[in-house]
Amino acid sequence: MKPTEGLQEKLYNEILSHIKQTDVSVPYRWGDYFYYTRTKEGQQYPIYCRKQGSVDAAEQILLDLNEMA
């Protein structure tokens, strides 16, 4: 695969340029909490969060898979 490393890098960068790396899912309500996931640029895994009472409340991080990896 050594001869194709340049092409691999070019394809990888092209794919990344079309992906929104920093994103937040639509929150869903379960009981008194709103649950959602978010991603940050440069990190591979999602962060699972919730907010109590309203979507404007303070964020509580339930699980950050990037810290566990």
For residue 60, being part of any structural domain is answered with: yes
Separation CA 38–CA 24 (nearest Å):
4
For residue 1, being part of any structural domain is answered with: no
Residue of 58, 38, 40 whose CA lies nearest to 48: 38
Task: Domain of residue 53: give its range.
Answer: 21-68
For residue 13, being part of any structural domain is answered with: no
For residue 29, being part of any structural domain is answered with: yes
For residue 9, being part of any structural domain is answered with: no
Residue 19's pLDDT band (cuts 50, 70, 90): confident
For residue 61, being part of any structural domain is answered with: yes
For residue 58, being part of any structural domain is answered with: yes
Number of domains the chain contains: 1
Residue 42 Rama label (left phi>0; alpha psi -120 to 50; beta): left
For residue 10, being part of any structural domain is answered with: no
* pTM, rounded to two decimals: 0.76
Q: 30-64 pLDDT, tens per residue?
A: 999 999 999 998 899 999 999 999 999 999 999 99
